[in-house]
Chain A
Amino acid sequence: MAQVALSREETTINQLKTRFPEAIKEAKVDRARRVTVEFDSAHLIEIAKFMRDELGFDHVIGIAGVDYTTHKKIELLYFTASFSKPDIQDLIVILKTELPRDNPVIASSVSIWESAHFHEREAFEMFGVKFEGHPDLRKLLTLDNWDGPPPMLKDIKFPEMGQR
């Protein structure tokens, strides 16, 4: 019986799992062309390096933050894709990791993916996530004289705007 060829999504997951058996917590194919990989936040740099050099995912489309107040965690999602490899250009791998809500610190991935620069700055100002090793971690989008808390955290309220 002929072996069924693995799809690109499953191949990517298998490569990641065999390379990082303990860092990858969970990996699944969401649908065609979308893969979600949950990993331990301490191994970000190794995984990012492997993704860029071996698999060809050479840029970050975006870094999203999600604030879970009940679970006391902040989730970071790195949307990575490829320009250089034509066969995986439409494939997006979502690297998902959890950070503690009271002290969200993670290594900066700017040294691996340069396009993460602005996205990390945005996550820093909106969620208060500290990216260690970021070359220029400043505010990006809020007002120039903004000195308030990170506005996207769910327990931050702005009573002067009528928020309750």
Chain B
Amino acid sequence: MTDKTQSSIRETEIFWETMPHIQRATMPPYFYTRLQAKLAKSTQKQNSVTNQLWQQMIQPKMAAFIFTFFITIQMLIFANLQPTATLSAKSNRPTLEAFAEEYNFTFSSYNYTKK
């Protein structure tokens, strides 16, 4: 550590030693009463959200919808397997090289000048 840095640190420390100390602020009165009210509200809100969600889930209509949705997703997954097979077949189509080989044609040997 250089002398300059050390003196800067010392200066800063001296400055803060002369600074007035701060006293701790006190919480406004009846904090616990207000907290209890907030806690009750929060618990009530949490319960109502959970209950509502659960009640909706066990309704016959909702259960039927979830079941149908699940089956549809499964069907879509299985249906999508089919195009994969077609895709692999498509990938076997003749490439440019195969074409050139079949027709005895190369780009390098082709004369581009107008006849």
Q: Do A and B bind each other?
A: no
Chain B positions near chain A (C-beta within 8 angstroms): none
